[in-house]
């Protein structure tokens, strides 16, 4: 009985937290498409005392949200950009580990591995990526925890890189494996969005370790947990790859 009471309170807290998140102006643009009355009805209508029912309901809501967000996503709509004067300094560090545990990657030895539905699977070095056309953006990073920060990122337009390596444009997913054991995946439309870049620099300088050196994927149309750092492998697939947080219940689409 005590366990059921605890789960009951946890379920209520989850629902209350979801409602608080929608009310936060900094996150409303992203989350207004993630929560629905139908989804909230599922949460309030199930037996909260049954943890399996809660998890099943959340899975249904998450799948519905992923489909809805995919339908609503406009691959030509740009996220807002800002002047350099609005850059957040210092830019916050955020990961599932502490700052003292940041992965220290050897950039000289680092190679980006490619696999899956890609014509040219040869690995890429950091100098080779830096030799490609670069793009700079000053955009807002929005964290699922409720805070946001504006940063200046520079790097290779991901769509250009995918074209260079002959990635299958009809594939459903692109997955990322990272040196810090993080992993995630995105849809092809987001991968080809004009503001999705393979970030190699921060504020005009080489990407610092705490922000993902030697390369992170920067997507201003996605929440922070969808932007992987220390990327060391990319694969293109039609098989759902999941992700570190997504496998723990976070929404997979995770963006606008």
% of the chain exceeding 90 in pLDDT: 69
Mean pLDDT of the chain: 81
Does pLDDT of 42 surpass 50?
Answer: no
Stretch among 6-10, 160-164, 169-173, 215-219 having the lowest mean pLDDT: 6-10
In this predicted structure, which of 127-131, 198-202, 225-229, 245-249 has the lowest mean pLDDT?
245-249
pLDDT, position 50: 57
Where exactly are the structural domains of the chain? Answer: 2-72, 84-248
Find the range with the poorest average confidence among 64-73, 179-188, 214-223, 245-254.
64-73
Dist CA 256 CA 246 (whole Å): 16
Given pLDDT bands bounded at 50, 70 and 90, which one contains residue 133?
A: very high
Name the fold adopted by 84-248: Sulfite Oxidase; Chain A, domain 2 (3.90.420)
Average pLDDT over residues 37-50: 39
At residue 70, the pLDDT reads 54
CA distance 184 to 91: 22
pLDDT higher than threshold 80 for residue 145 = yes
Residue range 29-55: mean pLDDT, rounded: 41
pLDDT beyond 90 at 174: yes
Tell me the per-residue pLDDT of 22-32, one tens digit each, with 9 for 90 and over. 334 333 343 33
pLDDT at 76: 79
In this prediction, residues 37-46 reach a mean pLDDT of: 35
In this model, does residue 63 exceed pLDDT 90?
Answer: no
Give backbone dihedrals phi and psi of 219, rounded to 5 degrees, phi first. -135, 100
- The more confident residue out of 37 and 147 is 147
Single pTM value for the model: 0.75
Contact at 8 Å (CB) between 160 and 220?
A: no
- Distances in Å between the Cα of 80 and the Cα atoms of 30, 70, 127, 227 are 13, 20, 30, 17
Higher pLDDT, 10 or 172: 172
Give me 81's structure tokens: 């950009």
Contact in structure between 85 and 46 (CB atoms under 8 Å)? no
183 backbone dihedrals φ, ψ, rounded to 5°? -155, 150
């Amino acid at each position: 009985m005590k366990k059921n009471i605890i789960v009951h309170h946890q379920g209520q807290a989850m629902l209350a937290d979801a409602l608080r998140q929608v009310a936060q102006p900094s996150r409303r643009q992203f989350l207004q498409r993630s929560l629905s009355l139908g989804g909230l009805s599922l949460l309030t209508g199930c037996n909260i005392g049954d943890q399996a029912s809660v998890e099943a309901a959340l899975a249904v809501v998450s799948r519905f949200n992923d489909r809805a967000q995919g339908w609503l996503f406009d691959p030509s709509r740009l996220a807002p950009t800002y002047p350099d004067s609005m850059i957040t300094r210092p830019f916050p560090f955020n990961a599932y580990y502490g700052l003292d545990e940041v992965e220290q990657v050897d950039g000289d030895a680092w190679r980006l591995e490619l696999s899956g539905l890609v014509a040219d699977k040869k690995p890429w070095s950091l100098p080779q990526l830096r030799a490609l056309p670069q793009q700079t953006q000053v955009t807002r990073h929005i964290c699922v925890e409720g805070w946001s920060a504006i940063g200046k990122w520079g790097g290779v337009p991901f769509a250009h890189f995918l074209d260079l390596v002959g990635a299958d444009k009809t594939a459903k997913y692109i997955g990322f494996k990272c040196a810090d054991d993080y992993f995630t995946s995105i849809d092809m439309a987001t991968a080809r969005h004009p503001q999705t870049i393979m970030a190699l620099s921060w504020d005009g300088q080489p990407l610092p370790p705490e922000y993902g050196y030697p390369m992170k994927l920067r997507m201003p149309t996605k929440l922070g947990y969808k932007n992987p750092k220390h990327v060391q492998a990319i694969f293109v697939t039609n098989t759902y790859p999941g992700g570190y947080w997504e496998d723990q219940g976070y929404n997979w689409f995770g963006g606008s």
